[in-house]
Amino acid sequence: MTVNWYLIVSAMIFTLGAAGVLIRRNPLVILLCLELMLNAGNLALIGFSRMWGNGAGEIFAIVVMVIAACEVAIGLGIIVALYRRRLPVDVDQLKELHG
Amino acid sequence: MTFLFFFIFAIIALAGAAGVVVLRNPFYCVLSLVVHLIALALLFLLLEAQFVAVAQIVVYAGAVMVLYVFVVAYVGGGDKPDQLWSAGTRQKALAVCFAVAIFVELAIALLGTALSALGTDGAKLSATYGTPAEIGKLLLTNYLLAFELASMLLLVAAIGAVALAGRRGGIAEDEGNLSPRHGLVHTPSPAATGSMAEGVSGYGVTTPLPDPQFEGRELQQPARVTAEDDR
């Protein structure tokens, strides 16, 4: 399989993730769609790494995974805090960051 | 053979991704993402990145997704049944347009690139490519700074998450009002929350979704406590 195929699959996954972020309203599902986009990026990175036969792309992918984990921790923390304060868990109704 | 495996895994990964976007119940969305992640790890294996594939399954499909499942079970809050597809058809159409535009741009960028090596199977690999030994060596030599910064970032994120979600000043007043047994068993919750109990009992599949008149944060009546229960 040529590297092109992997990149096309990565582009498709990225597109699906972007569409999900735009369509869905539940912040939990939006976070899941962000994961999709990050993973699409990871697939492209690994594909390029394979293309050059060089481990740098894999290191990059691992760092992306770390960043995704941080994003999940903070994002879910915010959602739990919203739930605690009895705010609606719906991005259309959450129009203000402040208080 | 690689060809066949590639298409199987790619289709599973794409189906999982579509499931995350389309499914209504957040619990199913998370499960769909797990399927997607595992298929993606297999694609990584096809690209000879063994260590990343295993890390993907252990860290992502394992640890991170468990965190998601816990939060979904705690918060729930699925899109209201009438809201996901009907409300804001204009918004939906715009979103799909933007997504298609992104895809076209990416496809043009990928296919129109001057990187001629993209059309090949990739460079000839050394025997150690993608092994944990090589990754470890790279992380602790060439990419030591990135490694250390990533660990600092994780620490900061962990502290931030505790600060955000931590319960300051004990239990909030309205949370404390629930009697303990209702708190444990009959916690009043919004309709179609996508909680674990609903997911396991096939809520929305075998049982019909509730009336759309349940607003997101309105609470269902807790199950009535009969005199027998009190004894």
Determine the structural domain holding residue B195 and report its residue range.
1-81+191-212
More confident residue, A3 or A86: A3
The CATH number linked to A63 is 1.10.287.3510
One-letter amino acid of B126? S
Write the residue in B37, B117, B217 that is nearest to A51 by C-beta.
Answer: B117
CB contact burial B45-64 (16+ within 10 A = b; e otherwise): bbbbbbbbbebbbebbbeeb
Tens of pLDDT, residues A3-42:
888 999 999 999 999 999 988 888 889 999 999 999 999 9
Nearest to A89 by CA among B157, B16, B83, B199: B83
The CATH number linked to B41 is 1.20.120.1200
Identify whether A92 is part of a domain.
Answer: no
pLDDT for B34: 95
Rg (CA), chain A: 17
CB contact burial B87-121 (16+ within 10 A = b; e otherwise): eeeeebeebeeebeebbeebeeebeeeeeeebeee
Distance of CA B153 to the CA centre of its chain: 21
* B1 in contact with A, Cβ within 8 Å: no
Same domain, B156 and B206: no
Q: Given pLDDT bands bounded at 50, 70 and 90, which one contains residue B183?
A: very low
Identify whether B88 is part of a domain.
Answer: no
Count the domains in chain B: 2
Identify whether B11 is part of a domain.
Answer: yes
More confident residue, B17 or B116: B17
Same domain, B63 and B133: no
Same domain, B63 and B135: no
Identify whether B116 is part of a domain.
Answer: no
Same domain, B75 and B15: yes
Residue B196 reports pLDDT greater than 70: no
pLDDT for A79: 86
Nearest to A31 by CA among B211, B73, B21: B21
Residue B77 reports pLDDT greater than 60: no
pLDDT for A82: 81
User: In chain B, positions 109-168, which contact chain A (CB-CB < 8 Å)?
Assistant: 110-111, 115, 117-126, 129-130, 134-135, 138-139, 142-143, 146, 150, 153-154, 156-158, 160-165, 167
Identify whether A95 is part of a domain.
Answer: no
Count the domains in chain A: 1
Determine the structural domain holding residue A51 and report its residue range.
3-84
Per-residue 3-state assignment (H helix, E strand, C coil) for B165-218? HCCCCCCCHHHHCCCHHHHHCCCCCCCCCCCHHHHHCCECCCECCCCCCCCCCC
Identify whether A90 is part of a domain.
Answer: no
pLDDT for B193: 57
Distance CA B127, CA A2 (A): 20
More confident residue, B19 or B172: B19
Distance CA B108, CA A94 (A): 36
Identify whether A69 is part of a domain.
Answer: yes
Identify whether A89 is part of a domain.
Answer: no
Same domain, B205 and B159: no
Distance CA A50, CA B122 (A): 6
